[in-house]
Chain A
Amino acid sequence: MSVLIFAEVDEGKLKKSSQEAIFYGAKVAEQTGTTATAIIVGEASDTELASAGRFGATKVLHAADSKLAEPNGMAYASVVAAAAQQEGANVIVLAKSSLADAMTARLAGKLKAALAANVVELPDLSNGFRVKSSIYTGKAFAYNDLKADVKILAIKKNTITPEESEATAPVEAFTPALNDKDFAIAVKGSEKASGDVLLPEADVVVSAGRGLKGPENWGIVEDLANALHAATACSKPVSDLDWRPHAEHVGQTGLKISPNLYIACGISGAIQHLAGVNSSKVIVVINKDPEAPFFKSADYGIVGDVFDVLPRLTKAVKAL
């Protein structure tokens, strides 16, 4: 009996969402009177590996085979499944991401596990194993009873606020046999925005819609985002018009995000857009139309011209 957490590293650094996952897993271990082990796959420094201890892992398994240097959902899932068997893990925790999404399902298939995706709270163990998850694209929640021996929880961003301690965790090398079948997908190339704050990981998101009038006007959105160390996002029409890349589209058929702060600029707030962002902690809406439906779902609102308001907000942030 133990809890196993898949902790993701990006360019050698433990991702923020994985710090949440480790802390969450450690809390579940506390609830169930067992220990939390983190597994890290791919390259990471000793300090970075041991830092999993600061968020509550009591042990770190490190799979550093050179074949695992590039993210590969199928191969990583096999590694985590092998670790789960070695550790006798009955709860596996992952933070939702492109990589984790690809792994979660394969893991559930391998281990015949009860799977809950988009988990938003710690489990309730008073009567079985019950977890709350976000469904209907953020419009509702479900309380799910997980009934298999192995449970897999894919947690949504901002499910828990990790607390750090001074603890470090011992690191053990983990070298499972790798299966060629897991390398059947060849990566031929990739395009990735670098240096920017990744949208799914971002604590603050500045998002804009058709009210910006054209892609050439995005400078004022990016300026505010930079000042706030925020990621940029956009509405569906904007990505459909190719003003911004599809990876920035948030909403019903785009990315679902739950940052601490979501600032919507020139977005009217169709129900499909709200679905992707309404689990944000604080929502700010800036729109020149006082009747924009988004104001009804906002915490703060400004009726005004984004071309006037955004530069002034940027200046105010810089003056802090």
Chain B
Amino acid sequence: MKILVCVTSVPDTTTKIAFTDNNTKLNKAGVTFITGPYDDYALARAVELKEKTGASVTVLNVGEADSEPVIRKCLAIGADDAIRVNAEPTDAYFVAEQIAAIAKENNYDLILMGRESIDYNGGQVHGIVGEMLGLPSISPVMQLDIDGDTAKITREIEGGKEQLEAKLPLVLGCQEPIAEWKIPNMRGIMTARTKPLKVVEPAGTDKLTTVASYELPAPRGAVKMIPADQAETLIQLLRTEAKVI
């Protein structure tokens, strides 16, 4: 079985977001970049399947050179090789086109990625890739088991979950608790240095969306504190002042 895991390099979840250049660029100063938390779940499940069934795991990142530490970490966790498409990953259709182009050359049985990247949060790339390859796509996947050529999947839906079955190949957007995050060990880190990382240039068309500028949310006004022994007044305030109940 051949598995492709698509990963993003994104600001750490504790990052205080700020912009520079007249609000047209993320201020990367002091920002730690990590593997997208959802992508990490996808990778962990892929490595588990590799350990169980002997699958091969290729990591794919659409990103610029500064995402290579994240790619190396994925190799240290257990991926066999990696491909980086050298482009800024800013438009879902564009990113999907890059993934689909790589997938067409290599016939993967499973294409896994996080349910969404935590920078743009679109959650669309897996579905577009599925459409481009003519394959079913499912997200967010909480559980994945492979039985021959069939995938048994639990997907989260509003207020619950559902159990699905589909034949491979498939494109899946993953989330917890599909697998436990894996931490690279020393041997993994050592071998990751020599695992192949191929860099290719982007294919296809221009981006269909571009970002003109960014903005931070307006700060909330000062908090109004209500003494605990007068808690009931909160309900009055929510009705008459905030008008939300």
Contact = CB atoms under 8 A, between A and B. Distances in A.
Given A145-B212, A261-B238, A299-B221, A271 B158 contact: no
Interface residues of B, number: 79
Contacts of A37: none
A313 interface: yes
A108 B237 CA distance: 44
B160 A253 contact: no
A201 B174 CA distance: 23
Nearest to A139: B17
A35 interface: no
B242 A282 contact: yes
Contacts of B192: none
A102 B139 CA distance: 7
A69 interface: no
A74 B135 CA distance: 10
Contacts of B238: 261, 282, 284, 300
A100 to B, nearest CB: 11
Given A184-B167, A282-B242, A297-B220, A137 B121 contact: yes
Interface in A190-206: 190-193, 196, 198-201, 203-204
Nearest to B229: A304
Given A115-B93, A261-B238, A303-B228, 17 more contacts: A105-B128, A114-B91, A115-B208, A139-B17, A139-B217, A142-B120, A196-B159, A204-B244, A245-B160, A247-B157, A295-B225, A299-B223, A309-B228, A313-B234, A315-B232, A316-B235, A320-B235
26 contacts: A74-B137, A101-B127, A109-B93, A109-B131, A112-B93, A113-B93, A117-B123, A130-B212, A134-B121, A139-B16, A142-B214, A142-B215, A143-B215, A146-B208, A185-B138, A192-B157, A192-B161, A198-B158, A200-B158, A246-B156, A252-B37, A253-B38, A261-B242, A282-B244, A301-B224, A313-B231
